[in-house]
């Protein structure tokens, strides 16, 4: 928290791009080593201790962030800006099994939440963010609706630790955290449930990337099912995920439609971005895919 406060005092800002963009920019010869705070904490480049201010280096050491590498150091975590807040999340590349993801999906996800909150007139008493990651979704709700009881749940302890720090940095100390598989960590109904599940078909089945099923859609479908049974009357689910398109057909919607048609609820579905993670199409699991789209499903109980 002290390190983030230092960064804020020095007008730090960094928007996290996609992993492929991040790798391309860092591969440029002039970017092999960081020379400033954005290079160290944003682009997550290796750095030498004398390339940054002594105060920044000392704060990083106190936070146990630097990991020694050949010729210098590298930070274990990155620091990204979203609206007026800063968020700690995993370093690049996110190769650990318990990595905490933050990137373009996070920005689209929180924009969808903010748009919904601006249009909703009914009060939100209780809300839950399934698979909270770094906490951006839960914090978007907590900051916009300080009177609400907002829960952030994840099966990843590393995610809950970072969410706790990010909530304190944002001044949302009332955010409730729980270790939860889907919604099993908390009882009762919710006026708003949000989720941004992993949706890729990852051959290594890393928790933060792998969605399961034929094309990564299984976890999103499980979240849909779990949320429908826990929405209060008038409650809403906002599910932001990715949908693999095969022969012009949306594989997520194909799996979700039977559940939606049986539910006593109104729903709306749309593509937010028709083409994301295009590099994944080179992997064997996507040999039949045309593209991967970012989509938003909104389900509301009468």
Task: pLDDT tens for the chain, 302 residues: list them.
Answer: 999 999 999 999 999 999 999 999 999 999 999 999 999 999 999 999 999 999 999 999 999 999 999 999 999 999 999 999 999 999 999 888 899 999 999 999 999 999 999 998 889 999 999 999 999 999 999 999 999 999 999 999 999 999 999 999 999 989 999 999 999 999 999 999 999 999 888 776 676 677 788 888 999 999 999 999 999 999 999 999 999 999 999 999 999 999 999 999 999 999 999 999 999 999 998 999 999 999 999 999 99
80's CB contacts (< 8 A; 6+ apart) are 14, 15, 16, 42, 86, 87, 89, 102
Query: For the structural domain made of 104-300, what CATH number should be given?
Result: 3.40.50.150
Helix (H) or strand (E) holding 193: strand 190-195
- pLDDT recorded at residue 204: 67
- pLDDT recorded at residue 215: 87
User: Both tokens of residue 80?
Assistant: 């990204």
Chain region(s) in the chain for CATH 3.40.50.150: 104-300
CA distance 220 to 84: 29
């Amino acid at each position: 928290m002290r390190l983030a406060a230092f960064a804020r005092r020095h007008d730090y800002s960094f928007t996290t791009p996609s992993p492929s963009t991040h790798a391309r920019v860092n591969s440029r010869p002039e970017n092999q080593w960081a020379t400033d705070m954005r290079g160290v904490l944003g682009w997550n480049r290796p750095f030498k201790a004398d390339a940054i201010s002594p105060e920044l280096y000392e704060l990083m050491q106190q936070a146990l962030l630097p990991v020694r590498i050949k010729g210098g150091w590298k930070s274990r975590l990155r620091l990204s800006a979203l609206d007026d807040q800063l968020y700690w999340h995993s370093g690049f590349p996110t190769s650990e099994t318990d990595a905490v993801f933050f990137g373009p999906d996070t920005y689209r996800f929180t924009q969808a939440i903010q748009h919904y909150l601006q249009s909703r007139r009914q009060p939100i008493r209780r809300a839950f963010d399934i698979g909270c990651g770094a906490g951006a979704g839960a914090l978007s709700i907590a900051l916009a609706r300080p009177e609400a009881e907002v829960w952030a749940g994840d099966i990843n302890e590393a995610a809950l630790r970072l969410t706790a720090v990010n909530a304190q940095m944002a001044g949302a100390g009332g955010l409730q955290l729980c270790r939860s598989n889907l919604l099993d960590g908390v009882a009762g109904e919710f006026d708003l449930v949000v989720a941004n599940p992993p949706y890729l078909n990852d051959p290594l089945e890393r928790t933060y990337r792998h969605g399961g099923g034929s094309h990564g859609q299984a976890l999103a479908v499980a979240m849909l099912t779990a949320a429908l049974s826990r929405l209060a009357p008038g409650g809403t689910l906002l599910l932001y995920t990715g949908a693999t398109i095969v022969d012009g057909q949306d594989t997520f919607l194909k799996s979700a439609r039977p559940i939606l048609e049986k539910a006593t609820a109104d729903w709306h579905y749309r593509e937010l971005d028709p083409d994301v993670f295009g590099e994944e199409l080179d992997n064997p699991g996507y040999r039949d895919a045309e593209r991967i789209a970012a989509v938003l499903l909104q389900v509301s109980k009468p």
